[in-house]
Structure 1
């Protein structure tokens, strides 16, 4: 049956609004996503009972089979998630996790150093946000656990060094995707003297949210600027409770596995290094093969743009897991223990898989109900070019928050921002498109239905809604500073005044947060 469109109706925001609100209030993510999906499908089918049942079945099977072929991207992503769970369980059984903690104990002297190590890893592993979230979390967790850094703080460090870093990196899957969109926009509006790469690089300093969010993270890590739910989580971690035990074991956390004697640092480092090398190599290989098939000359950006990232990650995960298991057998680890590690590794990732499947489903429903188009259409009444950057920033943020996807937001909002800028004031073309990227990352950064947010929670072994609740105040603060910067940019058309506004806003925020955290420390000391 034909689905009903709500592109021109405010009702289009109802399904994501219900799902997100319920998730925050009830903290039951699967239930909340399920209710949002059901409401959206009922709206699409005109509240027909038979149509709703049929559409639900179609979308459930569509996660695996699209009617003609397997949904390889979905299956590969889930496969990589499960392989990471198995790999980390194997490393734990081998004694590698304990050996890493012992190795780091002599080098990472404090919680601050542990957080900075996590941030540094996030900067180094910038090629893909999924890969970043899962790998950095699993590598850093033993070290941050030793120094009693809460899992919520670890998740914040991971999430803020994944999408915000990828969105300003041309050599990443994000950069390649964005440049493919920019290439079409530049041709459409006959912008000469700019390639997609040069336009992307030009836009980097205008991406105020990414710059402010990352800078704020550094300040929080170095100065312990904890407030709100994050302060509560950090206080709990100092008592030895790294996550809220009252909510059960978080996804991604394997427990109860025995460890083999004689574990070595290489039991941890070798699989991780192999995994990074394999993922990078296979992504470039698949991209190069696609370019060769189309008769296009090889370029690094072109290879990344055409790379099959999900295939590269699952293939690398399977190979690394298999080789790690073989090496462990050679070291005398009992096959029965390896079997337990496989089972525990899969079990540890199943909650995240369920959430991810539901998030993909509601993303499809929201796409069909055209929430993003409705929100983007709100920009049509804007006439003053001075306020175009801040308005497209806020609309892109609302679209990404509601839909849980930055990629979809970029595809919808970049052409709209370009059209508005060209029509009103061509000089604000690059700033306006950069504001879309910034808003998309901000909305995605704090959306409970974002796959990147889900995987950051999983990689850090943190309860998902706890991650959302503790990160949200920092994201909102960075967004407020960014919005002020875009207003200054629009009024003055000066990149430097916009950056100066961002820097001033960051300094004021740090000063206030430092005063708040010191006051909280004094109260805590007085009551203890």
Structure 2
């Protein structure tokens, strides 16, 4: 069977490359107007400016919208790419907007993401699947020099470099030192003696930590997964269960307990001229919080993991039930064919002779990590995750040295930690690149453009949910999906509310907002090319595709229930 699947995968890749060559040479790019609204301030001397990422940016030139070469009317007449990449415009209502056109190749825009996912499922080798998707996308964009035109420019981006610094050096180093000092095992022993008495309590501790670390995304995934791995392994909880709990209490809880960076980011994407309850930044943040009760998918996802933690597997699906039974009956944490995303250097302690591990060597760095992340969010507006992990790493190393471990032994633990996560870090890097490629080829833009303003209002929330689910699943990012979908979906929702004279337009907008927010979370959580999916598998020691397949059923069930509720509320109460 593996030989047959590999042959099918090879043929699929060759066919995808041929299709990419066809797209590059025969499918013209379809340019679409993309407008971004900011809170533009006008000074006393008529200088225009706006604030982006806590920096004030001056607007040099503004032109009339109708005369801009980047509006849709002019873009429709183009035979090639527009000369300008962006331009500030002002419309007839004196609303300022930044136009940044983007293009798509129609349904062909989905090709890089589709071939990546197909190869992931066929080969169970995410590394080769991601590389294949990048190759296909690069050919479509005409970037044949894969290293200099695709990989290196993406690695040079600040966000990618920060990810590699955090997950390769800081996370890997911290895990390695904890393995060398035996701190993680000491913590597992302590929790087992005092709190964790079996599989259920181990899973409940994991669920509680997932809710506690409500910053969401990669931060929550890494914190929870790293913390609970040793105690869950000791309690013999299957890795599929653990990775599902960690993943489903990361982004879902962040969109419900939204005292984090999410509202500040999202509010900048949902401004609509003339809509009073979205007029100012404060209004839009308040709108975010008022919409939280309608985040049905996130609520159901978190409740689903709680039920699993309580050993109620009715809604968990057969894969998770089989994994739970396997761990209970045979003490096997992984399936026989699994390839866990954790190297042997991190799977057991390598404590030097005479060194006595202590639980505080795990707890104090973890408290330091959490305190810095939360405090930096409170006082600086965003959690400084790199600071937090660097401080925890430094404290762990210093405690080991002060307890008598030699510097050479600490460095050995650090280097073993790097070895343990280097493969997963490469996959993470490639996942970021394929997400960037998918965005450039216009996959998300194409999916959103399929919508029409003639839709019945009551089916718009579930349509937005399905589209954002596909976009996020294809690109592996929820925040990237927000940037694509919100500026298109929210004006569309408002236009439908006005055209069809809805009695409760604000409620309708909340339902549409929640469907985009939650659909993106679902797609990101379930995508095999998402950083949170990869990190959930990596930190819990699970096989990536086992994690993806096992969490699909409960996630789809939660999404289906959410879509039904949005539709019913729309139909009966809007």
TM-score in same-fold range (> 0.5): yes
Residues 140-198 of structure 1: per-residue CA shift (max 9 Å, x gap) = 1122112211111111111111100112233212232123323x34x563436871221
Shift of residue 206 of structure 1? 1.1
Q: Match for 1:81 among 167, 170, 193?
A: 167
TM-score for both structures, normalised by structure 1 = 0.82
CA contact (8 A) 2:473 2:527 kept: yes
CA contact (8 A) 2:173 2:418 kept: yes
- Which consecutive residues of structure 1, in runs of 5 or more, have no partner in the other structure? 46-50, 66-70, 288-302, 495-528
Q: Tell me which residue corresponds to 1:512.
A: none
Deviates more, 1:368-377 or 1:412-421: 412-421
Q: State whether structure 2 residue 144 is matched by structure 1 residue 52.
A: yes
Corresponding residue SS for 2:257: coil
Q: Tell me which residue corresponds to 2:545.
A: 465
- Greater helix content: 1
- Distance in 1, matches of 2:190 and 2:108, equals 55
- Distance in 2, matches of 1:108 and 1:485, equals 37
- Distance in 2, matches of 1:430 and 1:227, equals 31
Corresponding residue SS for 2:362: helix
Give the CA RMSD over aligned residues.
2.2
CA contact (8 A) 1:22 1:32 kept: yes
Q: Give matches, 1:15-164, under 5 Å.
A: 15-45=112-142, 51-53=143-145, 56-65=147-156, 71-82=157-168, 83-106=170-193, 107-164=195-252
Q: State whether structure 2 residue 243 is matched by structure 1 residue 243.
A: no
Q: Give matches, 1:250-269, under 5 Å.
A: 250-251=341-342, 254-260=346-352, 261-269=355-363
Structure of greater Rg: 2
Q: Tell me which residue corresponds to 2:417.
A: 345
Q: Give matches, 1:195-274, under 5 Å.
A: 195-225=283-313, 226-238=316-328, 239-244=330-335, 246-251=337-342, 254-260=346-352, 261-274=355-368
> 1:252–1:393: structure 2 CA closer, same or farther, 3 Å change rule?
farther
Q: Match for 2:528 among 448, 457, 465?
A: 448
CA contact (8 A) 1:170 1:197 kept: no
- Distance in 2, matches of 1:33 and 1:448, equals 10
- Which consecutive residues of structure 2, in runs of 5 or more, have no partner in the other structure? 1-23, 31-102, 498-504
Shift of residue 208 of structure 1? 1.1
Residues 223-274 of structure 1: per-residue CA shift (max 9 Å, x gap) = 3305322223223323222224644452366135422542221111011111
- Distance in 1, matches of 2:232 and 2:411, equals 28
Deviates more, 1:452-461 or 1:254-263: 254-263
- Distance in 1, matches of 2:347 and 2:528, equals 26
Q: Tell me which residue corresponds to 1:11.
A: 108
Q: Match for 1:419 among 488, 491, 516?
A: 491
Q: State whether structure 2 residue 475 is matched by structure 1 residue 395.
A: no
CA contact (8 A) 2:340 2:538 kept: no
Corresponding residue SS for 1:332: coil
Q: Tell me which residue corresponds to 1:325.
A: 397
Q: Give matches, 1:497-512, under 5 Å.
A: none
Q: Give matches, 1:260-339, under 5 Å.
A: 260=352, 261-284=355-378, 287=380, 303=381, 307=382, 309=383, 312-339=384-411
- Distance in 1, matches of 2:277 and 2:372, equals 38
Shift of residue 398 of structure 1? 1.0
Shift of residue 490 of structure 1? 1.9
- Greater strand content: 2
Residues 346-392 of structure 1: per-residue CA shift (max 9 Å, x gap) = 01111111111111111111111100010001112542111111111
Q: Match for 1:189 among 259, 275, 281?
A: 275
CA contact (8 A) 1:372 1:409 kept: yes
> 1:147–1:8: structure 2 CA closer, same or farther, 3 Å change rule?
same
Q: State whether structure 2 residue 562 is matched by structure 1 residue 482.
A: yes
TM-score for both structures, normalised by structure 2 = 0.76
CA contact (8 A) 1:251 1:350 kept: no
**Relative contact order higher in (CA < 8 Å, ≥ 6 apart):** 1
- Distance in 1, matches of 2:230 and 2:517, equals 33
Corresponding residue SS for 1:380: coil
